Chain A
Amino acid sequence: QQPVQSPQAVILREGEDAVINCSSSKALYSVHWYRQKHGEAPVFLMILLKGGEQKGHEKISASFNEKKQQSSLYLTASQLSYSGTYFCGTETGRSYIPTFGRGTSLIVHP
């Protein structure tokens, strides 16, 4: 079942923070996060597995809340290079194959 991402779009100025959410109607085993720039292939950012809560580095990190069946991606002090569409992918069983959400468009202005 396709996860639901929110918001659909975010517009920021450089240096501002953003949060992108990914929610599932079923219990999650894992959550994947990818970024896709216009006209390019998606690029893997990170994967969070059941039992883990947080991952990433200072600027881009994600949390995984099993009880709420959701994950959030945090982009701190955004840079122009962060612009793109962010996709989450969720596994609700141990298939190693995520089902992707519809994406969140992030635009960072100077």
Chain B
Amino acid sequence: NAGVTQTPKFQVLKTGQSMTLQCAQDMNHNSMYWYRQDPGMGLRLIYYSASEGTTDKGEVPNGYNVSRLNKREFSLRLESAAPSQTSVYFCASSTLANKVDYGYTFGSGTRLTVV
């Protein structure tokens, strides 16, 4: 099925460990995004990539890095995990082909717990 695929779905890390969250889309979208969702906070943008080869910081980038590997793949790396990074992480993609209907397609999410 076409869409956005995220791996892993669940992860438990110890403080200080590193990990990479993977995201791939097969809809030929140019733009990709990483959000975190915390209870009562809504969705907050961590990083985004408007097109292949570009990345930019969002609202809450500290403690994260990203790589836009190619048009399909956009990964999020936690270099030294902290308990404050316990959250649900969503990857999303969109197209600006018509600049009218550019809603996001979200992946199923990664539930990350840092102990």
Contacts and interface: CB of A to CB of B under 8 A. Distances in A.
Given A2-B42, A49-B100, A96-B94, A44 B105 contact: yes
Contacts, number: 50
A103 B35 CA distance: 15
A41 B107 contact: yes
Contacts of A102: 40-42
A40 B106 CA distance: 10
Interface string B96-114: 1001111111111100000
Nearest to A103: B42
Interface residues of A, number: 21
B45 A41 contact: no
Interface of A: 2, 32, 34, 40-47, 49, 87, 89, 96-97, 99-103
Interface of B: 31, 33, 40-45, 48, 50, 58-59, 90, 94, 96, 99-109
